[in-house]
Amino acid sequence: MGNLILARHGETVWSREGRHTGRTDVPLTPEGEASAVALAPALAKLNIIATFTSPAQRAIRTAELAGLSGATPDPDLWEWDYGGYEGRTTKEIRAGRPGWYLWRDGVIPGDADHPGETIGQVGERADRVLARVRPLLSEGNVALVAHAHILRVLSARWLELDPSGGRLFRLDTGTISTLGIEHDMPVILTWNVPPHAI
């Protein structure tokens, strides 16, 4: 059985500044493009039979630069819709809502382009992705190129945890993580590995 290879997209200006970037389509920085290119040698060794990306340009571009050609955009891999917190940093949010914590407190509604999602809704999307890719793993490794929070929630669901279990898994830009099976149980094989450590 193959493994599920997770790649978080490269750096954007908003990710560098710690801004919640859900559905806003922010491009990669030059540093983000370089880190995506740096993923290519490791990914080339993994016999990846299929790749799915978020529809966001930062994910699609990361896949292209990392050598994952022919990737299929999957709308369920969009990042968490942060609603009224889109584009804001945690510090800015806490100025008006002391002690706010995304994984516990969620988001407020935004405009028509950013209505917001509950963690349960993000978990439902992650479950749909996993239902589609699990059958493919019998043939080899499958790569998902997306965003920090959706990949963290997806990892929690792979491990049969509640979606909020994603809070336990920090995930940096331009990194690779691997989910697999050990003794018929879902496990994390590698996590948050930067290109220079691969």
Structure-block tokens of residue 114: 């950013």
3-state secondary structure labels for all residues of 119-163 = HHHHHHHHHHHHHHHHHHHHCCEEEEEECHHHHHHHHHHHCCCCH
Cβ atoms < 10 Å from Cβ of 14:
17
N-term to C-term CA, the chain: 22
| 160, 27 contact by CB (below 8 A) | no
Question: Does 79 qualify as catalytic in the annotation?
Answer: yes
From 11, 33, 79, 86, the catalytic residue:
79
Question: Does 114 qualify as catalytic in the annotation?
Answer: no
Annotated catalytic residues are: 9, 79
